[in-house]
Amino acid sequence: MANTHTTQHYVASEQYAEETPPASSTGVIGWLRENLFSSWSNTVITILSIAFLVWILPGIIDWAILKSVWNAQSLTECREIIKATHGEGVSGACWAVIKERYNQLLYGFYPAELRWRPNVTFLLLLAALTPVLFRTMRPAFWAMVIALGVSVLAALLRGEPGSIVNPTTVVAAAGAALTYVFGGNQYRGKWLMAALAFPFVAIFLLWGGLILEPVETSKFGGFLLTMIIGVTGIAGSLPLGILLALGRRSNLPIVQLICVTFIEFIRGVPLITLLFVASTLLNYFLPPGTNFDLILRVLIMVTLFASAYMAEVVRGGLAALPRGQYEAADTLGLTYWQGMRLIILPQALKISIPGIVNTFIGLFKDTTLVAVIGLLDPLGLTNPIRSDSAWNGIVWELYGFIALLFFVCCWGMSRYSIFLEQRLRAADRR
């Protein structure tokens, strides 16, 4: 060493014992310090946030819950009730409109006596989705139990205990029993096989035919329509998007050209335009007299639209994988499709989860655009409701309810994607 006069030797003579962390960094106090008061700026933001909540929450609670009216025939009656109980100039929510119209907002003009069919379809959807999304059937079991409870409660509230035994409760009870008994991971393969039948069962139940009374699609509406378009678009756009992404990265020039053209065309055109094409223009191209269901046309357009975006998200994931993964798959002698299925896509899709779910959520909310071409999704139904003389002038309650429906679905998807990312991260502990 150059500067020998400062050399100090040190040799550890013992192993220090492990100590517990200081009390101020653990428990509730530790959490508060760490997350809310870690610095001056953080403390200020925390206090401002609390002040904001204190300022805004009481008003909302007062309006939405304390001074709200659930039983009335019209907005005018609502206002009179509020005036009578809380005095002049007080405003409160008139939830009576939701109470009167919630069936319409949920099912559109689907015949009332046949509404058990969308209900049963929804339950089957939960049962079909669970093995895809989770490892066990436990989530489906709880969903069935809740559905059973809601269904029984609804029958009792209607004051018709006799109607407890209806298709919805029967399916919910049977579903709960099945998912409980055969809920383990070892049955997942069987459930997945059964899930393949769901699209056909759903079409049969919703559209009718054979032994079920047919229902015209012009009667489909409300949240039912949102779910039909959203679920079909989501289920269809992922596989189609993957194929398009692979095609865009293909070595075959023609395949590549077709995929690039398709993706760029669809991405370059607004969804509304495509929906107008679906609703009006397509008729000119089809042979006269063909009656090509409007909802079916919309389903195809929405799926194609979402798949173009999906393709670009998946392509990002494919590009993010190191080249070595492709080369390793090649050198082992795996064919192209084997390599993609076993090596590349599992990793690329995992990287793409945030983008994929982002596209799903966007698609789900875009379904409201069908109101523009005259389909009666929840947003499309607000116009007839608001032009009804009884509810003329109602705004917040109606849109608030619809917003809540959408929020629950989109927030659920978002939470699921976080859950899935954590599960996959735990699985390969990188």
Let me know: does 380 contact 374? Beta carbons within 8 Å: yes
The total number of residues written for the chain in this structure: 430
Cα 13 → chain centroid: 61
To the nearest whole angstrom, how small is the minimum distance from the Cβ of residue 187 to another protein? 21
Q: Considering only residues 333, 389, 393, 395, which one is a binding residue for another protein as defined by CB under 8 A? A: 333
Rounded least distance, CB 333 to another protein, Å: 4
The residues pairing with 212 across neighbouring beta strands, listed in sequence order, are 209
Is the CB of 343 or the CB of 376 nearer to another protein?
A: 343
Contacting another protein (CB under 8 A), which of 347, 358, 368, 414? Answer: 347
Please check whether residue 164 is in contact with residue 156, taking contact to mean a CB–CB distance below 8 angstroms. yes
Q: Which of 44, 132, 328, 408 binds another protein (CB under 8 A)?
A: 328
- Least Å distance, CB 185 to another protein, is 18
Does 186 sit near another protein (CB under 8 A)?
Answer: no
Shortest Å distance, C-beta 341 to another protein: 9
In angstroms, the CA 296 to CA 278 distance is 9
Asked if 338 interacts with another protein (CB under 8 A), we say yes
Using CB under 8 A, which residues numbered 276 to 305 contact another protein? Answer: none
Q: By CB under 8 A, which span of 79-87, 274-282, 317-325, 369-377 interacts with another protein? A: 317-325
Nearer to another protein, 240 or 343 (CB): 343
Q: Which of 324, 387, 389, 395 is in the footprint of another protein by CB under 8 A?
A: 324
Q: Are 262 and 239 in contact (CB under 8 A)?
A: no
- Which window, 2-10, 122-130, 290-298, 346-354, contacts another protein (CB under 8 A)? 346-354
Largest CA distance in the chain: 102
User: b or e along 65-98 (b: 16 or more beta carbons within 10 Å of the residue's beta carbon)?
Assistant: eebbbeebebbeebbebbeeeeeeeeebbbbbbb
- Measured CA to CA, the distance from residue 105 to residue 401 in angstroms comes to 9
CA distance to 76, 137, 150, 170, 212, per residue, from 146 (Å): 36, 15, 6, 13, 27
With contacts defined by CB under 8 A, how many residues of the chain interact with another protein? Answer: 21
Q: Nearest approach, Cβ of 424 to another protein (angstroms)?
A: 8
How far apart are the C-alpha atoms of 352 and 308, rounded to whole Å?
15
Least Cβ distance, residue 317 to another protein (angstroms) = 13
Residues in 408-427 that interact with another protein by CB under 8 A? 427
Shortest distance in whole angstroms from residue 4 CB to another protein = 27
Nearest residue to 222 (alpha-carbon basis) of 94, 122, 78: 122
Establish if 343 lies at the interface with another protein (CB under 8 A).
yes
Q: Which is nearer to another protein, 242 or 266 (CB)?
A: 242
Mention every residue, 6+ apart, whose C-beta is less than 8 A from residue 418: none
Q: Work out whether 250 is an interface residue with another protein (CB under 8 A).
A: no
375 φ/ψ sector (left φ>0, alpha ψ -120 to 50, else beta):
beta
Interaction of residue 330 with another protein, rule CB under 8 A: yes
Answer yes or no whether residue 253 interacts with another protein by CB under 8 A: no
Q: Which is nearer to another protein, 8 or 331 (CB)?
A: 331
Residue 428 is a binding residue for another protein (CB under 8 A): yes
Q: H-type helices in 182-221, by residue range? A: 188-195, 198-207
322 binds another protein (CB under 8 A): yes
In Å, how far from its chain's centre is CA 211? 32
Sites of contact with another protein (CB under 8 A): 322, 324-325, 327-328, 330-335, 338, 342-343, 346-347, 350, 427-430
